[in-house]
Amino acid sequence: MGYKTREWRKSMRVVLDYNNMTEKFLGKEGFSETDLRGLAPKAKAAFEYVNANRGKDELYMGWTELPYNQAEIVEDILATAKSVRKKFQYFVVLGIGGSALGPIMAFNALCHLHYNDLPKYKRKGPKFYVEDNVDPVRMRDLLDVIEPEKTCFNVISKSGATSETMTQYLILLDLLTKAGVSVKDNVIFTTDEKRGNLKKISDECGGIKSYVLPDGVGGRFSQLCPVGLLPAAVLGIDIKGLLAGAAYMDSLCNKPSIYKNPALACAALQVAAMEQGKNVGVMMPYSDNLKYLADWYCQLWAESLGKNITLDGKPCNVGQTPVKSLGVTDQHSQVQLYTEGPYDKVITFLSLRKYGCEMPIPHGCENIPDVSFLGGHTMEELIQAENAATAYALTKAGRMNYTLWLPELNAFTLGQLLFLFELQTAYAGAMLNIDTFNQPGVEEGKKATFALLGKRGYEAKKEELDSLPEKEDKYIV
Ligand code: PA5
């Protein structure tokens, strides 16, 4: 691995501490050493399953190779990003789900938290927006703040058939046409290489600049391919660092033991906790920059594990409901429930050893001891103390929690986290014996939408919707 020095990479290692899942710290609510040793066979089998299927496109496991097989694409992306940064004032991602949450997460994690409000000379790149909804108000408001002719639109859709994204595409097409701008000049597609409507549109227009969303990579596992890499590069994020971080985490997860492989440990602990009825997984970063990583993780965990059939065709209803929570903000809203409510949660803390700055707290209010004790400390000390105090309070109350420690937040450590969560999800899916990479449960709603909007071929579904029983007035209050 040629990224920085070996010592630097080691100093940036993301570390898992799961002491607060054990009997020693939680009492009877925790796992004993015997329990943990008992997880070994399942963990080993999951590790072997994932390893044996690495890179297999037909199983949607192509994502495992993304840290290694994109050298050429990365150079192309960097060149495109350079020209986008020079030419455009705005960069708008149109996409949804796996085609949007990654770009949002990386933007939030590695850019200034008020990036779009910075003056241009400080921003260096275009203003950045990710439109992942079809709320008309949001679209109207976006159009109030961008100038279409000065905007690069990155339309991201593997299928090119997602109603939300294609609706947005139709709106931008109309806008650009009215402004007399060629789609080819202001649009970049990220889509399937051979199939799908964006491919057709590109062919019809004589070739729109397009990046490939590889065959074996599903939406929620796509942050480390052009889906996430192009927007990140446009923002000036070190995309080689992201990929190097992912490769580094991959190398840390090369053993079939929960004492050595952090992703395998997280998966085994979560699955064992789920078997005890811990059906809620709280993702709680103590960092505003990681707020949307929790969103990205929630999709990964929920859509991958929420399944009703095993790989051998047996009915099951598995999965753990992911909840996003932000430290310290949610200490003042959700932590009461986590500490005293049902014993149905595992809390994952994402904690930073070092923040991007310390922010000293000045002395003042010396006659008010309740306030003056804060003076002389730093905000970094305060947030770290609150993180430690919350972990302590939860542990004291017998609530399972563990911490992923980041030495600091940068592209390399973020890449590690992403790959850890992807591996964790794949291992957990293997332990649950389900198809981690499909999402049949979202299909019914999509079909009903098509029927309601009169899409050809969905007439029977429309009849089914029309034949629903009449609603009863007494239940409408
Ligand atoms: O994770 C997934 O597979 C989904 O969230 C998809 O990314 C989402 O539905 C968008 O699909 P597409 O990229 O085909 O527009």
CATH number at residue 52: 3.40.50.10490
Residue 458 Cα to chain centre, angstroms:
32
Domain boundary among 240, 268, 283: 240
Taking the centre of ligand 1 as the mean of its atom positions, its distance from the CA of residue 472, in whole angstroms, is 36
Shortest-distance Cα residue to atom 12 of ligand 1? 157
12 and 39 part of one domain: yes
Average pLDDT, the chain: 96
Ligand 1 pocket by Cβ (under 6 Å): 96-99, 157-159, 162, 165, 218-220, 303, 439
236 and 251 part of one domain: no
Choose between 15 and 204: higher pLDDT: 15
SS3 call for 388: helix
How many Å apart are CA 127 and CA 235, to the nearest integer?
Answer: 9
Mean of pLDDT values over 35-55 = 98
454 within a domain of the structure (yes/no):
no
Which residue out of 65, 131, 164, 303 is catalytically annotated?
303
Cα three-residue angle 131-134-139, rounded to 5 degrees: 60
29 and 105 part of one domain: no
Is residue 89 over pLDDT 70? yes
45 within a domain of the structure (yes/no):
yes
pLDDT on residue 222: 97
174 and 290 part of one domain: no
In tens, the pLDDT along 414-454 reads 999 999 999 999 999 999 999 999 999 888 888 999 999 99
Mean of pLDDT values over 451-477 = 94
27: left (phi over 0), alpha (psi -120 to 50) or beta: left
470 within a domain of the structure (yes/no):
no
CA dihedral 353, 359, 362, 368 (to 10 degrees): -60
Domain of 210, in residue numbers: 63-240
Among 304, 296, 255, 275, residue whose Cα is nearest residue 417 = 296
Please give the C-alpha separations between residue 204 and each of 21, 179, 191, 197, 276, in angstroms, as whole numbers.
57, 20, 15, 10, 55
193 and 291 part of one domain: no
443 within a domain of the structure (yes/no):
no
Mean of pLDDT values over 275-282 = 97
pLDDT on residue 323: 98
In tens, the pLDDT along 342-356 reads 999 999 999 999 999
Mean of pLDDT values over 139-162 = 95
What lies within 8 Å, CB to CB, of 242 at 6+ separation is 106, 224, 228, 229, 232, 411, 412, 414, 415, 418
How many Å apart are CA 311 and CA 124, to the nearest integer?
Answer: 49
Taking the centre of ligand 1 as the mean of its atom positions, its distance from the CA of residue 447, in whole angstroms, is 15
208 and 134 part of one domain: yes
Which residue out of 124, 396, 446, 463 is catalytically annotated?
446
Is residue 169 over pLDDT 90? yes
Is residue 24 over pLDDT 70? yes
Choose between 207 and 156: higher pLDDT: 156
In tens, the pLDDT along 248-264 reads 999 999 999 999 999 99
pLDDT on residue 193: 87
How many Å apart are CA 350 and CA 335, to the nearest integer?
Answer: 15
% of the chain at pLDDT higher than 70: 100
Taking the centre of ligand 1 as the mean of its atom positions, its distance from the CA of residue 165, in whole angstroms, is 10
Judged by average pLDDT, the poorest of 157-161, 376-380, 405-409 is: 157-161
Q: Decide the pairing of beta strands 307-309 and 315-318.
A: antiparallel
pLDDT on residue 445: 87
451 within a domain of the structure (yes/no):
no
Domain boundary among 417, 432, 447: 432
Taking the centre of ligand 1 as the mean of its atom positions, its distance from the CA of residue 374, in whole angstroms, is 47
In tens, the pLDDT along 104-147 reads 999 999 999 999 999 999 998 999 999 999 999 999 999 999 99
Shortest-distance Cα residue to atom 2 of ligand 1? 219
Is residue 289 over pLDDT 70? yes
466 within a domain of the structure (yes/no):
no
% of the chain at pLDDT higher than 90: 95
219 and 264 part of one domain: no
SS3 call for 318: strand
Query: Which atom of ligand 1 approaches the CA of 220 most closely?
Result: 1
Among 335, 326, 192, 347, residue whose Cα is nearest residue 266 = 347
Is residue 1 over pLDDT 70? no
262 within a domain of the structure (yes/no):
yes
What is the number of domains present in the chain?
Answer: 2
How many Å apart are CA 316 and CA 34, to the nearest integer?
Answer: 27
From 96, 189, 304, give the residue whose CB has the most ligand 1 atoms within 8 Å, as the site to mutate.
96
pLDDT on residue 339: 97
Is residue 372 over pLDDT 90? yes
Tell me whether residue 303 is one of the annotated catalytic residues: yes
44 and 141 part of one domain: no
Tell me whether residue 377 is one of the annotated catalytic residues: no
312 and 172 part of one domain: no
129 within a domain of the structure (yes/no):
yes
User: pTM of the prediction?
Assistant: 0.96
292 and 381 part of one domain: yes
Tokens 């310290």 locate to 328
Distance in Å from the first CA to the final CA of the chain = 64
Among 183, 92, 101, residue whose Cα is nearest residue 138 = 92
SS3 call for 74: helix
132 and 223 part of one domain: yes
From 132, 154, 155, 162, give the residue whose CB has the most ligand 1 atoms within 8 Å, as the site to mutate.
162
8-state DSSP, 22: B
Is residue 314 over pLDDT 90? yes
Domain boundary among 182, 205, 240: 240
Tell me whether residue 112 is one of the annotated catalytic residues: no
What lies within 8 Å, CB to CB, of 137 at 6+ separation is none
Tokens 């890499």 locate to 229
Is residue 13 over pLDDT 90? yes
Is residue 61 over pLDDT 80? yes
258 and 216 part of one domain: no
How many Å apart are CA 311 and CA 438, to the nearest integer?
Answer: 11
Shortest-distance Cα residue to atom 9 of ligand 1? 97
* Number of helices followed by number of strands (H, E) in the chain: 21, 12
How many Å apart are CA 183 and CA 177, to the nearest integer?
Answer: 8
Question: Helices 239-252 and 71-87, interaxial angle, to 10°?
Answer: 150
Whether the bond into 328 is cis, omega within 30 of 0: yes
* 8 A C-beta contact, residue 388 and residue 88: no
Mean of pLDDT values over 270-288 = 98
The full length of the chain comes to 477
Backbone angles phi, psi at 129, to 5 degrees: -140, 140
- Retrieve residue 71's tokens: 């050298």
Taking the centre of ligand 1 as the mean of its atom positions, its distance from the CA of residue 369, in whole angstroms, is 54
How many Å apart are CA 277 and CA 384, to the nearest integer?
Answer: 30
If one counts every other C-beta atom within 10 angstroms of the C-beta of residue 200, the result is: 11
